[in-house]
Amino acid sequence: MFFRLMYHIVLPIYVVFVIFSSITLERSQNDFFIILLGILFITSIYLERIYPRYFIYIATIEIVSLLLFHFTTQLNWCFTIYIILLSKFLFQIRGVIKGVLLGFFLIGFYTVIRISYTPVDSYSVLAVGSDFLTSLAVVLIIQYIIETEREKNVLKEEKKLEELRYNEDKMKLLGEMAAGLAHEIRNPLTIIQGFLQHAKEDHYNIQPWYDLILSEVCRMNKLTFEFLQFSKPDVSLYQTHSIHECLERVISLTESKALSSGHQIVFTDYDPNLFIRMYFDKMVQVFVNLINNAIQAMVESGNITIRLLKVENKAVVEVSDMGVGIEEADLKNIFNPFYTTKSDGTGLGLPICQKIIQDHGGAIEVTSILKQGTTFTIRFPLNSVDPH
Ligand SMILES: Nc1ncnc2c1ncn2[C@@H]1O[C@H](COP(=O)(O)OP(=O)(O)O)[C@@H](O)[C@H]1O
Ligand SMILES: [Mg+2]
């Protein structure tokens, strides 16, 4: 936009101004030639845009017509036209060395032509130095602009690429999740379809299978219900709560189930002054999921220990059990959607926990020793504002 404004509007106006000045000041050698050369120069600038393929030829016409124009006008003001032309070439040819050489080449010609109509005295000799230095400054400024522009473009490209990669990852994950869910739902559906078809076509009595069919329907219901938990809650639902209060709620919800399975929930090291911004219900769900897994992992009676501590400006919650443990090779799978080792499992509990924890800016880690137990460690950034 500014490029075109400069070369297609300002430059022609300046050329017309020089023609007018040269004729008015009676410096012109030949009025007709001046106008003709001015038109040739401006036309070549426009032609270059239309025929970029012939750049070299058109650029030669531009330089030659400018030199002749300068010679005919006999005005030093043509220097500005040389500088504008030089700046245009600098954007087109790139490179400092080439730019400096071109600048010196153009200013060299300018000097020769200027000497042809001005007497050589100390003033004009010093003016030559000034002209060369000006061209050098122009080359460096334009080079700086080109460099900054290039860096900006590289950054923009990198950002675009990153966004693209992120979107690709997201789509891949979405595809995997959708395929997983479809696969999980298809199995019970096929079973139910088989029973119904059998009953319809062969008048087969499926009454003894009602419980199985119902349990398969329940499983699908559970799967879709849990799958929905993946959605990110509205930001407005986040409020500052004490984690201690959240864990107390979790314990009150899970204690009876643990006791009826012969286990004890032990809450130690609690710090009631750790606050984080959380979606309370989702956070409760995270720990209920972990405790349910712990209960299911313990064949014999044992303790489920919950610790809450502050480590380096983070709230840390540990949920440990004395269960069967997880094999080293399986540790990397447990956060994958639909990975389960249980006959009635959905494999969505831990991925959902991880998603909720990440939505809260936290992270979850696991360590496990076979036949001794498993510990899940969750870290959250603390909210510095104490609401009370
Ligand atoms: N506390 C634990 N002890 C042993 N294994 C566990 C524990 N928690 C999770 N796991 C393993 O991780 C798998 C995935 O857990 P999860 O995502 O909650 O799905 P699900 O409970 O439906 O199987 C479980 O099937 C189990 O093999
Ligand atoms: Mg589970």
Quote the domain boundaries for residue 351: 235-381
Residues 114 and 240 both lie in one domain = no
DSSP 173-199: HHHHHHHHHHHHHHHHHHHHHHHHHHH
* CA dihedral angle for residue 101, residue 106, residue 109, residue 111, rounded to 10 degrees: -100
Residue 193 lies in a domain: no
Whether 205 has a pLDDT exceeding 70, the answer reads yes
Q: Report the sign of the C-alpha dihedral through residues 117, 120, 125, 127, in that order.
A: negative
| 362 three-state secondary structure | coil
Q: Among 118, 144, 165, give the residue marking a domain's end.
A: 118
Average of per-residue pLDDT across 124-146: 90
374 Cβ closer than 6 Å to some ligand 1 atom: yes
What CATH number is associated with residue 330?
A: 3.30.565.10
Amino acid (1-letter code) at residue 33: F
Q: Binning pLDDT at 50, 70 and 90, where does residue 384 land? A: low
Residue 144 lies in a domain: no
pLDDT of residue 67: 96
Q: Which residues contact 267 (CB under 8 A, 6 or more apart)?
A: 247, 248, 251, 306, 308
User: Which residue's alpha carbon is at the smallest distance from atom 13 of ligand 1?
Assistant: 340
Q: Binning pLDDT at 50, 70 and 90, where does residue 111 land? A: very high
Residues 240 and 376 both lie in one domain = yes
321 Cβ closer than 6 Å to some ligand 1 atom: yes
The residue whose CB lies within 8 Å of the most ligand 1 atoms, and thus the one to mutate among 293, 320, 321, 353, is 293
334 Cβ closer than 6 Å to some ligand 1 atom: yes
Residue 179 lies in a domain: no
Whether 166 has a pLDDT exceeding 60, the answer reads yes
What percentage of the chain reaches a pLDDT higher than 70? 98
Nearest CA to 352 out of 251, 297, 283 is that of: 283
Average of per-residue pLDDT across 263-275: 88
pLDDT of residue 92: 87
Q: Among 52, 84, 118, give the residue marking a domain's end.
A: 118
pLDDT of residue 388: 47
Distance 28 CA to ligand 2 centre (A): 94
At 225-261, the pLDDT tens digits run 888 877 777 778 899 999 999 999 999 999 999 999 9
Distance 187 CA to ligand 1 centre (A): 21
At 303-350, the pLDDT tens digits run 999 999 999 889 999 999 999 999 999 999 999 988 999 988 889 999
Distance 221 CA to ligand 1 centre (A): 19
pLDDT of residue 290: 97
Distance 317 CA to ligand 1 centre (A): 18
Average of per-residue pLDDT across 255-270: 92
Residue 191 lies in a domain: no
Most confident of 138-147, 232-241, 292-301: 292-301
pLDDT of residue 169: 86
Residues 244 and 374 both lie in one domain = yes
Nearest CA to 114 out of 101, 132, 100, 90 is that of: 132
Residue 211 lies in a domain: no
Ligand at minimal distance from the CA of 298 is 1
Residue 255 lies in a domain: yes
At 50-93, the pLDDT tens digits run 998 999 999 999 999 999 999 999 999 999 999 999 999 998 88
Whether 386 has a pLDDT exceeding 70, the answer reads no
What total number of domains does the chain contain?
2
Average pLDDT of the chain is 91
Residue 319 lies in a domain: yes
Residue 152 lies in a domain: no
Distance 259 CA to ligand 1 centre (A): 20
Q: Among 118, 151, 166, give the residue marking a domain's end.
A: 118
* CA dihedral angle for residue 122, residue 128, residue 133, residue 134, rounded to 10 degrees: 120
pLDDT of residue 387: 47
pLDDT of residue 385: 53
Ligand at minimal distance from the CA of 304 is 1
Indicate the burial class of 387 (C-beta count within 10 angstroms; 0-12, 13-18, 19 or more): exposed
